[in-house]
Structure 1
């Protein structure tokens, strides 16, 4: 039991997420409980507007939880400093990159910021971590290019390399396949799966690519209107979770194939 507990890197207990104003509290989702283990690929899925981004922002401490707790490496997120958090959790968001004049190598090097001095000087250890991240994502041929020269798919790999260079236990990605075609969606998610196995890091991503997530993820967090469930994809299928994800008048889930189909 103790060994099993030490394998849990991110945990939510009775978590309630949403927004507070001066007069009202808006609850987006509540009673959220999950345990994410080391070396797993976890997909966060649900219908548009269900609260996936709100949950991610709460998990990365961008906005506070309404109630409940989040434990990162057995420490309460509320008492974890920004500096300590940056060495345990890295983030890849969907916002447009503002520094596209940077070279690929320079952008990946920004991942070492939590470890450098105030001048930002890179040590041999930092350079090794940067080179290793570039190698893991297989972008050696891009490292001298400027970021504005890259396609969306290439830039996504560079942002992932930056997160890897940060060398954290957990990597969180918000919609990493946005703007990509079907091939590159599958490529990025397959790459995430490969990285969890090669690095032992826990990778959590939100996505609308539910079919791909079912095929590739170790665990999935499914946000429904009145419930949030976390389990292995095969268990979620057998429990009928995906069948109730969308209105059945247009989209139906096929248990046999593990995929969604347009209703006839």
Structure 2
């Protein structure tokens, strides 16, 4: 990636991701190198089955890397404890909630778990942080509603507020626009863009909404069959990276508009 600064918040060096079986290691992607900067919105894109979720799981220490290094604020990720990681990085996944009977406020307050005592009591500071998270995502009026009463779009905003309440430098989201209509896909990604500017947090998300990511992201990680490229969207367009993402028999990339078109 071009124009790097000396102190990236999250970086990968000669990283190989995949799975280990009893007999061998199955490589998904190798030779991954990137440096992500503080306060940016970063989109991770690529074709279905290319390994986006595997890369995200590796970056959040859910799945071990096969080889290479991941550094979080200059420290090796594999030497970071679970509690330390919970104070540095928050996660919004696509898995359904264990209990939708929680109120919005209760769910967002769970983000304070790394900082509360074993009983989970909230201090005045915790309460102020939870309230601020609700305010940042514009869902104060929903705080007393039960999660089963919410639409998919509202629930996604609640999950983002919970990540904000965790007060980490990095927020990682796996497919945050799944199940949303076109308007709400754009709304959620625009919200993430605004949050990076207002909070200074680094937000990394995976998505199939490549057109929207091109418009809104500061940086994009593009996964291809043979390599992973990380750069500003304008540079990726100039270098023809998006032209090579999909077979050209059905869709093609228009570098003028920065969007994909159905081939006629």
TM-score normalised by length of structure 1: 0.98
Q: Could you report, residue by residue, the CA deviation over 1:51-73 in whole angstroms, capped at 9, with x for unpaired residues?
A: 00000000000010000000001
Q: Could you report, residue by residue, the CA deviation over 1:185-236 in whole angstroms, capped at 9, with x for unpaired residues?
A: 0000000000000000000000000000000000000000001000000000
Q: Could you report, residue by residue, the CA deviation over 1:74-108 in whole angstroms, capped at 9, with x for unpaired residues?
A: 10000000000000000000001111000000000
Cα distance in structure 2, aligned partners of 1:52 and 1:124: 39
Cα distance in structure 2, aligned partners of 1:38 and 1:191: 17
Partner of residue 162, structure 2: 162
Are 1:227 and 2:221 an aligned pair? no
Unaligned runs of 5+ in 2: none
Are 1:203 and 2:203 an aligned pair? yes
Partner of residue 115, structure 1: 115
Are 1:238 and 2:229 an aligned pair? no
Unaligned runs of 5+ in 1: none
Cα distance in structure 2, aligned partners of 1:80 and 1:143: 34
Partner of residue 4, structure 1: 5
Cα distance in structure 1, aligned partners of 2:193 and 2:114: 25
Is the partner of 1:54 in helix, strand or coil? helix
Is the partner of 2:5 in helix, strand or coil? helix
Q: Could you report, residue by residue, the CA deviation over 1:153-211 in whole angstroms, capped at 9, with x for unpaired residues?
A: 00000000000000000000000000000000000000000000000000000000000
1:5 CA drift (Å): 1.7
Partner of residue 60, structure 1: 60
1:4 CA drift (Å): 2.8
Are 1:149 and 2:149 an aligned pair? yes
Cα distance in structure 2, aligned partners of 1:138 and 1:235: 34
Cα distance in structure 1, aligned partners of 2:225 and 2:102: 42
Are 1:124 and 2:121 an aligned pair? no
Partner of residue 217, structure 1: 217
TM-score normalised by length of structure 2: 0.98
Is the partner of 2:9 in helix, strand or coil? strand
